[in-house]
Amino acid sequence: MIMNGKNNIAIGFLTMGFFMAYGFLLIYLRDFAPGKEEWINTYSTGKHFETRLAHVHGNLFAFLNILIGYLLLHFEVKLKNTKTISWLALTGLLMPIGILSEVYFGLPPALVLIGAIAMTISVIWLGFSFLNMKQIKI
Residues 86-106, mean pLDDT to the nearest whole number:
97
Amino acid at 78: K
Task: Report whether pLDDT(79) > 70.
Answer: yes
Compute the distance between CA of residue 67 and CA of residue 29 in angstroms, rounded to an integer. 31
Whether the predicted model's global pTM rises above the 0.85 cut: yes
Q: What is the pLDDT of residue 137?
A: 64
Q: Residue 57: which residues within 8 A CB-CB, separation 6 or more?
A: 95, 96, 99
Under DSSP, the state recorded for 80 is: S
- Quote the pLDDT of residue 30: 87
Would you place residue 47 in the very low, low, confident or very high pLDDT band (cuts 50, 70, 90)? confident
Digit-coded pLDDT (tens) for 14-45: 999 999 999 999 999 889 989 888 878 887 88
List the chain domain ranges: 6-132
Render pLDDT for 113-128 as a digit per residue (tens, 0 to 9).
999 999 999 999 999 9
